[in-house]
């Protein structure tokens, strides 16, 4: 029986030191590239003069607050912005800039919330 763990540990220790600065730079670059990629997938904030969330498209009169997103400050609604802040990627939703669509979504959300709390 040989002991691969002892020789392996010494190897990875020295390799880790070399990797650290390089890796941090690579990770930083990758994160920036990802954010750029995410920003490309976002939509315009202003449609017909009205603010819409760049991720889900909900208009300003329905959006609960405005938060930071891949496009910058106040580019996403509260729900999408929270997800972005927590996961560093856009909330996976269907983009739709129509008010009716989001009112319908909200109504469904409220209905399920009422159903949840009424038992
Ligand atoms: Zn949104």
Question: pLDDT by residue (tens digit) across 6-60?
Answer: 444 455 566 666 678 889 999 999 988 988 999 999 999 999 999 999 999 999 9
The answer as to whether 82 is a domain residue is: yes
In the chain, DSSP assigns E strands to 46-47, 50-51, 66-69, 72-77
The answer as to whether 12 is a domain residue is: no
How many domains, in total, are found in the chain? 1
Quote the domain boundaries for residue 111: 41-117
DSSP conformation letters of 25-56: HHHHHHHHHHHHHHHHT---SEETTEEB-TTT
The answer as to whether 32 is a domain residue is: no
Q: Please tell me the distance from the alpha carbon of residue 73 to that of residue 67, in angstroms, as a whole number.
A: 6
Q: Please tell me the distance from the alpha carbon of residue 93 to that of residue 102, in angstroms, as a whole number.
A: 12
Q: Tell me the per-residue pLDDT of 63-84, one tens digit each, with 9 for 90 and over.
A: 989 999 999 999 999 999 999 9
Please give the model's pTM, rounded to 2 decimal places: 0.72
The answer as to whether 7 is a domain residue is: no
Beta bridge mates, 66: 77
Ligand 1: centre distance to CA 13 (Å):
44
Q: What is the mean pLDDT of the chain?
A: 87
Please give all residues whose CB falls under 5 A of ion ligand 1, grouped by chain where several chains appear: 53, 55-56, 77, 80
């Amino acid at each position: 029986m040989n002991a691969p763990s002892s020789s392996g540990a010494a190897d990875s220790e020295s390799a880790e030191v070399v990797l650290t600065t390089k890796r941090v730079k690579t990770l930083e670059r990758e994160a920036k590239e990802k954010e750029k990629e995410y920003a490309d997938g976002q939509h315009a904030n202003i449609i017909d003069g009205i603010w819409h969330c760049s991720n889900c498209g909900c208009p300003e009169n329905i959006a609960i607050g405005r938060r930071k997103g891949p496009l910058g400050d106040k580019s996403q609604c509260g729900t999408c912005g929270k997800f972005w802040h927590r996961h560093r990627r856009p909330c996976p939703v269907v983009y739709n800039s129509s008010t009716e669509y989001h009112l319908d979504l909200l109504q469904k959300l409220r209905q399920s919330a009422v159903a949840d709390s009424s038992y």
